Amino acid sequence: MAESRRRMATVAAALVLLVVAVAAGLPAAAALGVNWGTMATHQLPPGTVVRMLSDNGIGKVKLFDADPGPMDALAGSGVEVMVAIPNNMLDMMTDYGTAKDWVRQNVSRYNFDGGVNIKYVAVGNEPFLSSLNGTFLNVTFPALQNIQRALNDAGLGDTIKATVPLNADVYNSPADNEVPSAGRFRSDISDLMTEIVLFLNQSGAPFTVNIYPFLSLYDNDNFPLDYAFFDGTSSPVVDNGIQYTNVFDANFDTLLSALAAVGVGGLPVVVGEVGWPTDGEKHATAAYAQRFYAGLLRKLAANTGTPLRPNQYIEVYLFSLIDEDAKSVAPGNFERHWGIMRYDGQPKYDMDLTGQGRNTALVAARGVQYLPRQWCVVNPNAPDMSKIGDSVTYACTFSDCTSLGYGSTCNGLDAVGNASYAFNMYFQVQNQVDGSCDFQGLAVPTAQNPSTEACNFTIQIVPSPAGRRPGGPVATALLLLLLLLAVLQIAP
Ligand SMILES: *[C@@H]1O[C@H](CO)[C@@H](O)[C@H](O)[C@H]1NC(C)=O
Ligand SMILES: *[C@@H]1O[C@H](CO)[C@@H](O)[C@H](O)[C@H]1NC(C)=O
Ligand SMILES: *[C@@H]1O[C@H](CO)[C@@H](O)[C@H](O)[C@H]1NC(C)=O
Ligand SMILES: *[C@@H]1O[C@H](CO)[C@@H](O)[C@H](O)[C@H]1NC(C)=O
Ligand SMILES: *[C@@H]1O[C@H](CO)[C@@H](O)[C@H](O)[C@H]1NC(C)=O
Ligand SMILES: *[C@@H]1O[C@H](CO)[C@@H](O)[C@H](O)[C@H]1NC(C)=O
């Protein structure tokens, strides 16, 4: 009796602790992940980023490669890491020896006390995206098998799982019955997807999916706006008596139906990317992003799960941590504005990662070093403005002008403001070096901030030597282009 009363007291105390911890938001914040992409011309030092993660209680991070800069900075932090093999290396990984080498150099190397807490290896990044035209269809599954085998052979297979982050376009429900329960893998890849999910199930690895309500809205003019968010909708999707009020749940459950249809309905699912951009398109605004994350984070913190997997924790990696001004804009101008932080690690809007909807800001990156406070603008005394169009085109070719487009924060500038914006972006990307704010006398540096209420003329951060691999693909491409332009003598 006394014993059982003591046990009850212990259980009660544990429950109180749990409630306190939940109220303080600790488990939710610790369980949250972010994507850390590095396609930026100027990167925060990796150590600064890792500190920002811990300052914000972010316990998981997903990378797009195995760059030693971020990996070394993550060592000893305790942050759980999904390290990645880029698509262009998948072909090599179809050779087991190479896969084994990769695991040794990029996983085992960090597996020591005080090393990197690697949880997953991402094999490719959305390799079956329709727009990739099937380029990686033949290599992804063999690469996945080889990497998991190499992890197993290295004695790491119990704790580190290989998975393939896939875009939600690998499954759908038929156009004449667009309900989650009708979800199946895309018909052109259904056999391959079936083999892959059976393999994941067998190795104890999760399915990793990227879900983008923003893109649902962007791709379809008739998409109901409020269905992209989490505050209810006037037009829910009704499926076997279940009311879906947001596309995230509907999409997630479409995947669960596709998995169930091939016999692995219980496979764990990780959301590898989900987020909302803040510029470059009419729905890409800070206000919408704030609304989206407020709803998502509230839902995650409450562990509501989805109708087909109710009351469950969902492992989620927000996309993305920081803006990346060197990403391809093929998907759209918004592509460089996915960060919950700006390029310099400053928060963009209020966001409560604990999901309690408090008006609180994320903790900014600390100790960020900026270039001098000077901007580049159109020279009011320019002798000849006739060639300004060519100069703007040049400036925008080598810097990020995506904020100038229709629906973007700087779209309201006049023609001179536009040109100034372009010149400044170029000047900052060039680290404000001598001659980078001239454009044949059309531009001039200024100490007066030309920003308007809606449009920020930025000052870049000091480039971090560890942040950018010398000879990375972007740097090399830029260098080659510059050389070519120099040869053709069309440089400004
Ligand atoms: C990862 O491993 C491969 C060897 O398979 C190596 O070439 C590469 O440099 C390593 N590091 C990164 C950052 O991928
Ligand atoms: C895929 O095909 C389309 C149309 O043929 C082409 O425009 C695009 O560049 C291709 N993409 C890739 C990644 O090969
Ligand atoms: C994949 O393999 C099939 C069959 O071997 C072949 O016909 C196809 O061209 C390959 N696709 C690619 C993208 O390599
Ligand atoms: C999935 O994995 C579990 C656990 O290993 C196993 O019992 C089950 O048979 C697997 N399912 C299929 C369809 O292979
Ligand atoms: C400024 O540039 C943007 C993007 O090129 C363009 O859409 C807009 O019309 C320009 N505005 C003016 C006033 O030239
Ligand atoms: C412009 O940048 C400042 C910080 O330098 C920031 O406080 C402000 O919110 C930004 N404004 C816009 C419209 O992005």
Q: What number is the average pLDDT over the span 181-196? A: 98
Query: Residue 259: inside a domain, yes or no?
Result: yes
* Per-residue confidence (pLDDT) for residue 383, from 0 to 100: 85
Whether the per-residue pLDDT at 268 is higher than 50: the answer is yes
CA 131 to chain centre: 19
Query: Residue 477: inside a domain, yes or no?
Result: no
* Per-residue confidence (pLDDT) for residue 198, from 0 to 100: 98
Query: Residue 352: inside a domain, yes or no?
Result: no
Segment 211-226, tens digit of pLDDT? 999 999 999 999 999 9
Gap from CA of 8 to ligand 4 centroid (Å): 37
Active-site residue identified among 3, 195, 273, 335: 273
Same-domain status, 312 and 410: no
Mean pLDDT of the chain: 91
* Per-residue confidence (pLDDT) for residue 130, from 0 to 100: 94
Whether the per-residue pLDDT at 13 is higher than 50: the answer is no
Same-domain status, 176 and 252: yes
Query: Residue 360: inside a domain, yes or no?
Result: no
Q: What number is the average pLDDT over the span 133-142? A: 98
User: Closest by alpha carbon to 443, among 381, 374, 371, 490?
Assistant: 381
Q: What ligand 1 atom has the least distance to the C-alpha of 104?
A: 2
Query: Residue 170: inside a domain, yes or no?
Result: yes
Please identify, among 336, 353, 385, the residue that sits at the C-terminal boundary of a domain.
336
Q: What number is the average pLDDT over the span 140-148? A: 98
Q: Which of 456, 458, 459, 460 to mutate to test the pocket of ligand 6 (most atoms within 8 A of CB)?
A: 456
Q: What ligand is nearest to the CA atom of residue 136?
A: 3
- In which residue are the tokens 């390029």 written? 343
* Per-residue confidence (pLDDT) for residue 463, from 0 to 100: 92
Does residue 127 contact residue 87 with C-beta atoms inside 8 Å? yes
Query: Residue 283: inside a domain, yes or no?
Result: yes
Same-domain status, 380 and 330: no
Segment 32-84, tens digit of pLDDT? 999 999 999 999 999 999 999 999 999 999 999 999 999 999 999 999 999 99
**22-36, 131-145, 251-265: segment of lowest average pLDDT:** 22-36
CATH of the domain at 121: 3.20.20.80
Does residue 427 contact residue 492 with C-beta atoms inside 8 Å? no
Is there an atom of ligand 5 within 6 Å of 320 CB? no
Whether the per-residue pLDDT at 408 is higher than 50: the answer is yes
Q: What number is the average pLDDT over the span 26-33? A: 60
Q: Which of 410, 413, 420 to mutate to test the pocket of ligand 5 (most atoms within 8 A of CB)?
A: 413
Query: Residue 359: inside a domain, yes or no?
Result: no
Residue nearest atom 8 in ligand 3 by C-alpha distance: 138
Residue 267 pLDDT grade (very low, low, confident, very high; cuts 50, 70, 90): very high
Whether the per-residue pLDDT at 342 is higher than 70: the answer is yes
Whether the per-residue pLDDT at 288 is higher than 60: the answer is yes
Q: What ligand 2 atom has the least distance to the C-alpha of 132?
A: 13
Cβ atoms within 10 Å of 344's Cβ, excluding its own: 19
Gap from CA of 105 to ligand 1 centroid (Å): 6
Distance between CA atoms of residues 219 and 214, nearest Å: 9
Token digits of residue 316: 């989620």
Is there an atom of ligand 2 within 6 Å of 133 CB? yes
Is there an atom of ligand 4 within 6 Å of 267 CB? no
Same-domain status, 201 and 295: yes
Active-site residue identified among 80, 126, 281, 315: 126
* Per-residue confidence (pLDDT) for residue 466, from 0 to 100: 53
Does residue 123 contact residue 131 with C-beta atoms inside 8 Å? no
Token digits of residue 370: 């900026």
Q: What number is the average pLDDT over the span 183-189? A: 98
Task: Report the share of the chain in percent with pLDDT over 70.
Answer: 88
Domains of the chain: total: 2
Is there an atom of ligand 5 within 6 Å of 280 CB? no
Whether 324 is a known active-site residue: answer: no
Whether the per-residue pLDDT at 375 is higher than 90: the answer is yes
Whether 126 is a known active-site residue: answer: yes
| 3 state SS of 361 | coil
Q: What ligand 5 atom has the least distance to the C-alpha of 414?
A: 13
Distance between CA atoms of residues 205 and 325, nearest Å: 33
Q: What number is the average pLDDT over the span 324-351? A: 97
Whether the per-residue pLDDT at 347 is higher than 80: the answer is yes
Q: What number is the average pLDDT over the span 131-156? A: 98
Distance between CA atoms of residues 463 and 210, nearest Å: 31
Full domain range(s) for residue 404: 375-460
Same-domain status, 301 and 393: no
Whether the per-residue pLDDT at 87 is higher than 70: the answer is yes
CATH of the domain at 404: 1.20.58.1040
Q: Which of 85, 91, 93, 105 to mutate to test the pocket of ligand 1 (most atoms within 8 A of CB)?
A: 105
Please identify, among 336, 354, 389, the residue that sits at the C-terminal boundary of a domain.
336
Gap from CA of 136 to ligand 3 centroid (Å): 9
Residue nearest atom 14 in ligand 2 by C-alpha distance: 132
Is there an atom of ligand 4 within 6 Å of 48 CB? no
Same-domain status, 305 and 385: no
- Which residues line the pocket of ligand 6, CB cutoff 6 A? 346, 409, 454, 456
Q: What ligand 3 atom has the least distance to the C-alpha of 136?
A: 13
Q: Label the pairing between strands 207-210 and 269-274.
A: parallel
* Per-residue confidence (pLDDT) for residue 277, from 0 to 100: 98
Q: What number is the average pLDDT over the span 469-477? A: 45
Whether the per-residue pLDDT at 126 is higher than 70: the answer is yes
Same-domain status, 26 and 145: yes
Q: What ligand 4 atom has the least distance to the C-alpha of 267?
A: 1
Distance between CA atoms of residues 188 and 176, nearest Å: 18
Q: Which of 400, 411, 420 to mutate to test the pocket of ligand 5 (most atoms within 8 A of CB)?
A: 411
Does residue 376 contact residue 419 with C-beta atoms inside 8 Å? no
- The DSSP H or E segment spanning 48 is helix 46-55
* Per-residue confidence (pLDDT) for residue 31, from 0 to 100: 76
Same-domain status, 291 and 393: no
Is there an atom of ligand 2 within 6 Å of 328 CB? no
Q: What ligand is nearest to the CA atom of residue 86?
A: 1
Does residue 107 contact residue 65 with C-beta atoms inside 8 Å? no
Same-domain status, 261 and 325: yes
Q: What ligand 3 atom has the least distance to the C-alpha of 134?
A: 13
Task: Report the share of the chain in percent with pLDDT over 90.
Answer: 86
Query: Residue 111: inside a domain, yes or no?
Result: yes
Whether the per-residue pLDDT at 12 is higher than 60: the answer is no
Residue type at 136?
F
* Per-residue confidence (pLDDT) for residue 16, from 0 to 100: 41
Same-domain status, 313 and 415: no
Same-domain status, 257 and 395: no
Residue 18 pLDDT grade (very low, low, confident, very high; cuts 50, 70, 90): very low
Is there an atom of ligand 5 within 6 Å of 416 CB? no
Same-domain status, 431 and 307: no
